[in-house]
Each structure stands twice: as structure tokens, then as C-alpha cells.
């Protein structure tokens, strides 16, 4: 399982990157991007926090 950001929906508020900086980084395009190669299960709590606080529900867990 890994988190995914729907960049079409993301409004670039930065809340996910603030909540879980190992996993979410803001890109030059003003959207959040998932950092590759992270042990996502170890950051599950803050990923779930990011999913909960995203104002536009742009983050999800994917297989
Ligand atoms: S919290 Fe949601 S809208 Fe805000 S930057 Fe992250 S993915 Fe985008």
C-alpha cells in the first residue's frame, strides 16, 4: 500500500507536507507529491492524518 495524491484535485495548501513531511513534498507545480522509496507503513499515522486534514480529499491509499 502506498499513498497517492490526485494532483488534479490538490489545491496546494501544503497541509499534508506539514503533517507528514517525510512522505509529502510540495512540487514546483504547486501540488503535493508523494516521495518515492519511503517506508510508508512506518509513517502510516501521519499519512492517515494527512488524508484526514486534506481539505479536498485528494489523498488516498492505493494498492
Ligand atoms: S492537503 Fe490536500 S490539497 Fe493540501 S497540498 Fe496536500 S494533497 Fe494538496
| Model pLDDT for residues 32-61, shown as the tens digit of each residue | 999 999 999 999 999 999 999 999 999 999
Nearest CA residue ID for atom 1, ligand 1: 54
Return the C-alpha torsion angle 13, 63, 23, 56, nearest 10: 10
pLDDT reported for residue 14: 98
Check pocket membership of 34 for ligand 1, CB cut-off 6 A: no
Residue 3: C-alpha distances to residues 6, 8, 15, 24, 28 (Å):
10, 15, 15, 9, 20
Query: Which atom of ligand 1 is the closest one to the Cα of 32?
Result: 5
Query: Which atom of ligand 1 is the closest one to the Cα of 12?
Result: 5
Residue range 18-41: average pLDDT? 97
Residue 13: C-alpha distances to residues 33, 47, 49 (Å):
12, 16, 15
Fold of 2-62: Alpha-Beta Plaits (3.30.70)
pLDDT reported for residue 28: 97
Task: Band the pLDDT of 18: cuts 50, 70, 90.
Answer: very high
Amino acid at each position: 500500500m502506498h499513498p497517492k495524491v490526485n494532483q488534479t484535485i490538490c489545491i496546494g495548501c501544503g497541509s499534508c507536507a506539514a503533517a507528514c513531511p517525510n512522505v509529502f513534498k510540495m512540487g514546483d507545480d504547486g501540488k503535493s507529491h508523494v516521495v518515492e522509496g519511503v517506508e510508508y507503513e512506518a509513517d502510516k499515522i501521519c499519512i492517515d492524518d494527512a488524508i484526514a486534514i486534506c481539505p479536498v480529499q485528494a489523498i488516498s491509499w492505493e494498492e
